[in-house]
Structure 1
Amino acid sequence: MTKDHAAADVAFIKALAELLNANNLTEIAVEREYGENDMLSVRVAKQAPAVTNVQHSAPSAAPAAQAPASAPAPSADPADHPGVVASPMVGTAYLAAEPGADPFVGVGAQVTAGQTLMIIEAMKTMNHIPAPHAGVVKRILVADGTAVEYGAPLMIIE
Structure 2
Amino acid sequence: MDDIVKQALAKWPNVPDCYGWLGLDARGRWYMRDDRTQAAGPFPQAKGSLLQHEKLIDFIHRNYEADEAGQWFFQNGPQRVYVELEATPLVWRLAIDGSVTSHTGKPTTVEQCLLDAQGRVYLATPLGLGLVHTLDVGLAADAVEQGRWTPVEVQAEELPARYGFVPSPAARHATAA
TM over 0.5: no
TM-score by length of 2: 0.24
TM-score by length of 1: 0.26
> Which structure's CA Rg is the greater one?
1
Higher helix share: 2
